[in-house]
Amino acid sequence: MSWFRKIFNEWKATYNVQQKETQFREGLQRVPAIISHPPAIEGDEVNFSHSGHAGDIIYSIPAIYALAKGRKINLYLTLNQPNRDFTKKMRHPNGNVMLTGKSVTLFAPLLLAQKDFLRCEAWEGQQIHYDLTLFREFPFDYRMGSIARWYFLTFGINSDLGKAWLQVTPDNTFRDAIVLARSSRYRTPGIDYRFLNKYPEVVFVGMPDEYEDMKQQIPSLVYQPVKQFLELASVIAGSRLFIGNQSFPFSLAEALKVRRVLEVFPQCPNVVVEGANGYDFCYQPQFEKIVHDLMGH
């Protein structure tokens, strides 16, 4: 490397750091004052709203419990908010919005089965004590860190993310199966799933087009459709091993603390495995070793 190139790269790196610091400081001037002005809550129910992605909602549950402080929980979903997080090439089940009316139907059975949850409905002007999507107002680089901890940074709270925060009845039909989910988004270069062909029972959960794509690598792959997220969580909870990338099904596996393996996307490593039974990878040899060790062959 020439001396000029070296000097230029050092200047560029310094400039980038300074630019990010300036953007962060400027962003702090616009953030809501939610700590100095906590909501006045009367009664034993706390109303939360969320307008973000399905996975973000699952990762917000530890914060919901921390903020509710033992009171009953009502979660209202703000629908049809623009999806600005994905490029046109990154297909998403909800298209160009983050939540739809169908999202309520999918979520409600799962959330209403959880301790202290009273309601999961569409937001139609109900009073809100905590807007969980406020984390997006703060000047953080949301391609990194832990999604669950974004809420901690926003509201000044904490919770033990190593413990399960969802409970469901496992579907033991899948007790011998590897259950797999892999969206078209967040795929790590160089990762190949063909080695899973040697395992007798591999089941796919997710969108039909994602299944057809993965079936090209695993011809014996079996598709398991689900009607709503409680059913999906039960399948994941009942599996011998769950493998997923940074898409919604993995948020359920992480919340349940089942035996799980995460495909980490290096450009956006904002899903973090915490607690028992959790593994992650972004290199092929390590991926195959983890599965071999967990499956016993």
pLDDT in tens, 117-145: 999 999 999 999 999 998 988 888 888 99
Strands (E), 70-116: 72-77
The residue among 259, 266, 260 whose CA lies nearest residue 282 is 266
Asked, for residue 59, whether it belongs to a domain, the answer is: yes
Asked, for residue 279, whether it belongs to a domain, the answer is: yes
Residues 49 and 136 in one domain: yes
Asked, for residue 166, whether it belongs to a domain, the answer is: no
Residues 131 and 179 in one domain: no
Residue ranges making up the domain that contains 49: 45-155
Asked, for residue 185, whether it belongs to a domain, the answer is: yes
Which tokens belong to 125?
């002007």
Residues 151 and 176 in one domain: no
Q: How far, in Å, CA of 183 to CA of 90, rounded?
A: 9
Query: For residue 69, what pLDDT is reported?
Result: 96
Which tokens belong to 188?
């790590």
The residue among 282, 274, 26, 81 whose CA lies nearest residue 161 is 274
The pTM of this model reads 0.88
Residues 141 and 180 in one domain: no
Asked, for residue 262, whether it belongs to a domain, the answer is: yes
Residues 77 and 114 in one domain: yes
Query: For residue 85, what pLDDT is reported?
Result: 56
Q: Over its length of 297 residues, how does the chain's per-residue pLDDT go in tens digits?
A: 566 566 656 655 565 667 767 776 776 676 777 666 778 898 999 999 999 999 999 999 999 999 999 999 999 999 988 866 545 554 556 556 779 899 999 999 999 999 999 999 999 999 999 999 989 888 888 889 999 999 999 999 999 999 999 999 999 999 999 999 999 999 999 999 999 999 999 999 999 999 999 999 999 999 999 999 999 999 999 999 999 999 999 999 999 999 999 999 999 999 999 999 999 999 999 999 999 999 987
Q: How far, in Å, CA of 265 to CA of 199, rounded?
A: 25
Residues 140 and 210 in one domain: no
| Cβ atoms of residues 135 and 32 within 8 Å | no
**Final residue belonging to a domain, choices 123, 155, 187:** 155
Q: Residues 204-214, buried b or exposed e (16+ Cβ, 10 A)?
A: bbbbeebbebb
**Final residue belonging to a domain, choices 155, 182, 208:** 155
Tally the domains of the chain.
2
Asked, for residue 160, whether it belongs to a domain, the answer is: no
Helix (H) or strand (E) holding 12: helix 3-28
Helix (H) or strand (E) holding 253: helix 248-256
Q: How far, in Å, CA of 28 to CA of 138, rounded?
A: 7
Residues 123 and 204 in one domain: no
Asked, for residue 126, whether it belongs to a domain, the answer is: yes
Q: Is 171 helix (H, G, I), strand (E, B) or coil?
A: coil
Q: How far, in Å, CA of 287 to CA of 217, rounded?
A: 16
**Final residue belonging to a domain, choices 106, 130, 155:** 155
Q: Residues 9-37, buried b or exposed e (16+ Cβ, 10 A)?
A: eeeeeeeeeeeeeeeeeeeeeeeeebeee
Alpha helices per DSSP H over 69-194: 101-112, 147-155
Residues 92 and 206 in one domain: no
Residues 192 and 107 in one domain: no
Residues 58 and 89 in one domain: yes
Q: What is the side-by-side strand order in the sheet with 117-122?
A: 117-122, 72-77, 45-50, 130-131
Asked, for residue 27, whether it belongs to a domain, the answer is: no
Query: For residue 12, what pLDDT is reported?
Result: 57
CATH of the domain at 227: 3.40.50.2000
**Which amino acid appears at position 259 of this protein?**
R
Residues 197 and 139 in one domain: no
Query: For residue 63, what pLDDT is reported?
Result: 98
Residues 219 and 272 in one domain: yes
| Cβ atoms of residues 133 and 34 within 8 Å | no
